[in-house]
Structure 1
Amino acid sequence: MKRTYSWPAGHWGWLIPVSHKHGIRSGRMAYVGGQVDKDMKGLVLHHYDLKTQTRVVVNHIRTVLGELGIALDDIVKLVAFYVNDGSVDEDAFLMDLRSQLGAGPAPALTTVPIPYLAYPGMLVEIDTIAMRGEDQMALPRTVSAPSGHWRLAGPFSQGLRCGDTIFVSGQVARGPSGGVRHPGDLARQTTDVMEHVGRILSEHGATFDDVVKINSYYVDAGHGEAWRQSIDACRAFFPSPGPVVTGIPLRWLPDGLVIKTEVIAMLGADGRRLPRRSVQGQEHASALVPAPFSPALQCGEMIYVSGQVSADAMGTVLGPDALVPQTHTVMAKIRSLLSGFGLSLDEVVKVNAFFKSGGTAQELNDNLRVRSACFTEPGPATTGISLPALADQGLMIDVEVTAMPR
């Protein structure tokens, strides 16, 4: 499958040399790594100015996509990581973001409020997926708006289907009027969220059987049991082999919300379920990815790998509190999982890394240097998000990837 890469002239850079590119296109799929407001030397611009940074980031996304022969109207999914401790009006942020995008059907979107990003003064980082036909024709899209569903500001779409892929925006436990249901109750909110996901999927003729990827962002007070409580409530919705799953702890969500979940599903144009294959085996077992969820899953031309951490099958952390050794361990796990499909790390098109840090560039560079060295130039698009903590004490990094055969 033909690939093209994007690093536009004059585009922002990292503080260290990397193999990663800002964007990659493989067939109909295009991935843009987390875009931020920096200069060519890797220094933050417009410190602590969310509105200006958002405008600059959207322009960066436009530029990267343009080099790949894709427009803003082709965007199908955004994830916006932005600094918010409750003082930022998220609806206003989303309205501003939406106003800068194309005039076509609104993409699916997930917002993730975090206490800081990897550089002081940086307030927003946006991750992008876009789709366009290999013949350069725009692909038809359909959006979902279930009756009685809570409204997503912007407005953005609760769900969007393009080709055989369905993107569901981050779902939360809100009722039709927007009020929060079961405030502070993680298990009950998880069930409510999954029911929202099910309604959106059904509008596209899909079910939970068609889900291939889940990302859950949940509030954790630091005791480490929140993820297990949430995943136990979630697992009842899925058959085996289930989707890949990544759980990311947050300090805060608004209004008593404690979980936000986004999914990707795949369904044939004729409405038939697409064949899937999961990599299993004790050597790939993880306490954070229990059955029926898959460590790695192939569906059609897409391969998704669950968030990998430096822990054994019993959940014992390997190399506790050591970022660089854990990064080596995690990348070796991903390499092993991809080999189960006959692939290497060079088939990876997108990397998402969540790492524990105090919000300094040095901590990003420490793990980025290891991750980048695993890929042959030109490498995949990447997003790196710094967090105060991960799912268990002692964990320092959690990495998920998307791959496509060449």
Structure 2
Amino acid sequence: MSQAAPRVAFFTDSFHEVNGVALTSRQFEAFARRRGYPFFSAHTGPETRVWTEDSITRCELALGRMTIPLESDLRFDTTFLRLRGLVGRAIDDFKPDIVHITGPSSTGLLGLIAARGRRIPLAASWHTNIHEYGGRRLERLLGFLPESWSRAAGRAAEAASLAATLRFYRFACVTLAPNPELIRLIEKGAQRPCFLMRRGVDTEMFHPGRRGRGDSVFTLGYIGRTSTEKNVQHLVDVERALREAGVSNYRIFVAGHGSLLDWLRDNLQQREVPGVLRGEALARAYANLDLFVFPSETDTYGNVVQEAMASGVPCVVTDQGGPAHIVTHGLDGLIAPAGPRFCEAVVELARDPERRRQMAEAARATALKASWDSVFDEVYQAYAHALGPLQSR
């Protein structure tokens, strides 16, 4: 292998969808294209086909008829092995130096099989705390049981799922994770070296200059998936706390998609819920917020938090998960445990426009330090670690 950029075959769980993994995957492919790096991009698509554009080889894989729904726009293809031959031939033609998968999806499993069958080094990045998602969903499904029973079942499911996921990551020779807590977890549980894979943000798209609101209504917002594991139910508690504190001139803005979107429409009183937004409409929505609230405790990073900060919007996030590593408490937002203290933090900033203004400036300054190019340069350094023994042969 030469000292040029390695030939990377990237198998991602999500690409065309509206979520953080898809955003990162699209940015990664765009980075490789800008640099002229040889890059094989495998993901689901409307039809199965392989083609090459510039330095990028695209491998889109249509879902079969038997799939398991994971989200409204994500499914696990139970018949993924039918694509093994096609993917194998495409990999043989591309001749990657390293295969990179983003998790145990049907696409990721195809990447794992291709790598192991050809003895190609495998990198695996951790993007979603699927063990926490599974535990919370089971607990919600068992809501008809006594609370102590449903919680115990959820914790047991979470522990079993975590153990299985860590075993999966042992197939990799190098792993990547978006925050220090996960790095420690993976290095201990999977017993593999783990490198930081942060996330970037487009600070030209997400910019305070896109603000166009002229009214004086305090507008707090949540943008992202509206599902149980994101703890969006907590927005109802936030609204109750605002009203009890005497804050009446407010609006709660919610954009995104998920199983609880209609529930939020029904249970929030002073709300605006437009659904999914993209492009400039999304950028304007961020910039028109006075405060971004993110009650999730399961996110590994929090792309939406960084987009809000780039838009000059201070954030209130929980003390669990990746967002707590993005926000600096008291500087560009507040960090608080989910529950009453989270609500108190929102009320505190609702009452203090001058502090919000200062935090808004600091939030923008923080986001300006997070470029996608720097993120993926670090990923290629992790590849170099994995390929070091091969390069020295």
TM (norm. structure 2) is 0.31
More strand by share: 1
More relative contact order, 1 or 2 (CA 8 Å, 6+ apart): 1
* Alignment TM-score, normalising by the size of structure 1: 0.30
